[in-house]
Amino acid sequence: MSVGWRVIEIASLEFSTAVLRTKVILVLGHGSCGAVYAALRDAPVPGTIGSLLDVIRPGIQDIHLQTEDSLEKAIKANIRYQMEQLKSSSIINSMAQDNRIKVVGAYYDLHTGVVDFI
C-alpha cells in the first residue's frame, strides 16, 4: 500500500505532539523560495516536483507575480495556508484548541537573517 508523503508528514507531527509531547509546531517559510516561485509561475517542472507545487498552489492562488513583493506575499500566504492545513489532523486540531500545543508560522529572510513571526 502506497502512502502519500503528506499523510506521512501529518502522521509524524501527530506522533511528535501526542506521543512525544512536543509543545510547538513551527511552519517556517523562507525568502526566495524556489518552490513558491515555481508555483506562482505555474511552469512545468520535472519529476515529482509537481506534487510539491500542488500542495502550495491552493494557498497562493490569489497572488500573481506583478510586483517585487509578490513572492514574499506568496511565501507568507503559503505559511498561513500550511498552518491551516494542519487543522485537518483531528489530533493536532484538538490539541491546539485545548492549548496543549501552539502552531505558529514564521518567515525567514535569507538576506538579513531575521525571522518574523506571523
CATH number at residue 96: 3.40.1050.10
User: What domain range is 42 assigned to?
Assistant: 5-117
pLDDT score, position 74: 98
Examine the pLDDT at 73 and tell me if it is beyond 80: yes
* Global confidence as pTM: 0.91
Examine the pLDDT at 9 and tell me if it is beyond 50: yes
Question: Count of domains in the chain?
Answer: 1
Examine the pLDDT at 12 and tell me if it is beyond 80: yes
Q: Which three cell numbers stand for residue 47?
A: 519529476
Q: How far apart are CA 111 and CA 118, in angstroms?
A: 18
CA dist list (Å): 48 to 54, 68, 88? 10, 28, 24
Q: Which three cell numbers stand for residue 90?
A: 483531528
Q: Over the stretch 17-64, which tens digit does the pLDDT of each residue have? A: 999 999 999 999 999 999 999 999 988 899 988 889 999 999 999 998
Instruction: Give the strand order in the sheet containing 102-108.
Output: 24-30, 102-108, 115-117
pLDDT score, position 1: 46
Confidence of residue 3 (pLDDT cuts 50, 70, 90): low
DSSP result, 4-53:
-HHHHHHHHHHIIIIIS---EEEEEEETT-HHHHHHHHT---STTHHHHH
